[in-house]
Structure 1
C-alpha cells in the first residue's frame, strides 16, 4: 500500500492510515522529516525512514529521522535511498528468533542494548560477524569502513567525548549510504528496533505495549 500523508498537514489522515495492520512501514520525509517519527510513536512494528533531499543535501532530514528519543526508534537509510528501504523491508518479512550483537561488551551503548533486550526476555549472542539467521546490531565508529552486507543489520554509530560533533554529523551522511541506522550511541533504539522486527507475529506485542506505557508514565509524572 502506498499512501501520501503529512505529519503536519494531514495528521488525522496519518492516524487513519495507521489503523491498518502492517508488518513494516516505510516513511519518507524531508526537511524536519517528522513523519517517520510520528508513525513510530503510534505502532509497534519497525519503521524505516527515508530522508528526502532538500536543504543541506538531506542531512537535516537524516538526522531528524535517526536521532529519535530512546525507546521510539526509526531505522534510517541514506538520503533518497528508497531501494535500501525496500531491500531491508523484504529482509524483515521472515521470522527472527534471536539477536546478534557485534561490538565491544564494555561499551555503554552495547550494555544498554543488551539490558533493553533482556527486558523482553531476549539474551543476545555476541560475535565478530553478522548471522544471517538473526537480527544483527553492529556498533561502529565513523573512522571505520562499513562494508555493505547482504544480511539484516542495524547499525549504531558510536561517538567518543573527544570527537567533533559537527564533523560526526557529516560522517553520518557519508556512512549511511547503505544499511539501517539508529542515532549516535543509541543502543536502546537499536535493541527496540530489533524487538519490533521480531514482533512480526505479535510475539512481543504485549511487552512492547507495556514498555511504551511505562515510558509515557515517566513523562506524565514530571508534570506532578
Structure 2
C-alpha cells in the first residue's frame, strides 16, 4: 500500500534527515521549507530518483495559517492521503526575556506552536476518517525543563508537549497516534552560533559525550511510526541522557 508523509522544516537538519529516512522506507512525501526552496527541490529530485517516490515541495512561512493550511490541503489532495505528519519546523531565540520584543516573541510562538495547530487541524480529519495515522511533533528537552535565555523557545516547546498529550487523548478513539520527541543538543545549523570551544564544553556535559546526529532523530521517528498503536501521547526523550 502507498505510504505518505508530510514534513515541515525539511530543507535542512532534522527535517532533511527524516525525509531521507522515510523516502528510503518507501514513503511518498510532501516537504515544506521557509525559504530554501532550491535546496528543497534538489533534495526532492534526489529522493524521487533514488527511491522512486513522489515528492512535492512547498515554500512559505509555516507560522502564517494563510500559507500553511492551503499548502497542507494541496499536499493532501496530491498525495491522496497523509499517513504521517511530522511537525518539525522551528526557530530559536537566544537572549533575556526582558530584552525580547513582542514581534520576536510572536515569531517563536507562532512558528513552533501555532503551526502545529494549523497542520494538525488540516490533516487530522482525514486520518480520523480512515481511523489510522501518526502525528509526530519534534520538540525539545527545554520544553520539559526550561532553558535560561531561551524562555520563548522553552515555552513554545512546552506547549508542543502539552498539545501532544492532549491531542493524543482526543484522537486515540479514532486510531490516530500522537507523540513527540524531545531532542537534546542536535548537530544542526540551529546550534551554529556556538563556537568550537562552546560546542566542546557543551558536549562534555552530555553523558553520551557528543551532540545528537539528525539521522538519530530520523531513526527515532521511524521507530515511532512502526511502534504499536498503544504507544500514544508519549514525550520521548532523545538527549543522550542530558535530562
TM band (smaller chain): under 0.3
TM-score, scaled to structure 1:
0.26
TM-score, scaled to structure 2:
0.24
